Amino acid sequence: MTSKGGGTGFQHYRFRHRALPEIDYAAIDTSTNFVGRAIKVPLMISSMTGGTEEAARINIKLAEAAEKRGWAMGLGSLRAAIEQPATAASYQVRTYAPNVPLIANIGAVQLNYGFGIEQCRRAVELSDADALVLHLNGLQEVFQEGGNSNFGGLLRKIEQLCKVAEFPVGVKEVGWGIDGVTARALKEAGVSFIDVAGSGGTSWSQVEKFRSTNNLSKAAAEAFADWGTPTAQCVVEVSEAATDTYLIASGGLVSGVDAAKAIALGANMASFGRALLAPAVHSEAELNQLLERLELELRIAMFGIGAANLQELHRTNRIVQLRAE
Ligand SMILES: Cc1cc2nc3c(=O)[nH]c(=O)nc-3n(C[C@H](O)[C@H](O)[C@H](O)COP(=O)(O)O)c2cc1C
Q: Return the residue whose CA atom lies nearest to atom 10 of ligand 1.
A: 47
Residue 210: predicted pLDDT: 78
Give alpha helix (H) positions in 168-255: 180-189, 204-211, 215-222, 231-241
Residue 193: predicted pLDDT: 98
- Total domain count for the chain? 1
Residue 212: predicted pLDDT: 78
202 within ligand 1 shell (Cβ under 6 A): yes
Residue 1: predicted pLDDT: 47
Q: Which residues are annotated as a binding site?
A: 46-49, 77-79, 105, 140-141, 172, 202
In a domain, 83, yes or no: yes
pLDDT (tens place) for every residue of the chain, 325 residues total: 444 468 999 999 999 999 999 999 999 999 999 999 999 999 999 999 999 999 999 999 999 999 999 999 999 999 999 999 999 999 999 999 999 999 999 999 999 999 999 999 999 999 999 999 999 999 999 998 899 999 999 999 999 999 999 999 999 999 999 999 999 999 999 999 999 999 999 888 877 777 778 888 888 988 999 999 999 999 999 999 999 999 999 999 999 999 999 999 999 999 999 999 999 999 999 999 999 999 999 999 999 999 999 999 999 999 999 986 5
What is the domain-level CATH number for residue 193? Answer: 3.20.20.70
Domain that holds residue 43: 10-321
In a domain, 4, yes or no: no
Q: Which residues are annotated as a binding site for FMN?
A: 46-49, 77, 105, 172, 202
In 136-274, DSSP assigns E strands to 169-172, 193-195, 246-250, 269-272
Residue 325: predicted pLDDT: 55
In a domain, 136, yes or no: yes
In a domain, 123, yes or no: yes
d(CA 148, CA 118): 20
In a domain, 2, yes or no: no
Q: Return the residue whose CA atom lies nearest to atom 23 of ligand 1.
A: 251
48 within ligand 1 shell (Cβ under 6 A): yes
Q: Nearest 10 degrees: CA dihedral of 48, 235, 292, 78?
A: -20
DSSP labels, 11-69: GGEEE---S---S-GGG-B--EEETTEEESSSEEEPP---SSHHHHHHHHHHHHHHHHH
In a domain, 151, yes or no: yes
Ligand 1 atom with the smallest distance to the CA of 250 is 23
In a domain, 3, yes or no: no
In a domain, 5, yes or no: no
In 61-187, DSSP assigns E strands to 72-74, 102-107, 131-135, 169-172
105 within ligand 1 shell (Cβ under 6 A): yes
Q: Which residues contact 166 (CB under 8 A, 6 or more apart)?
A: 121
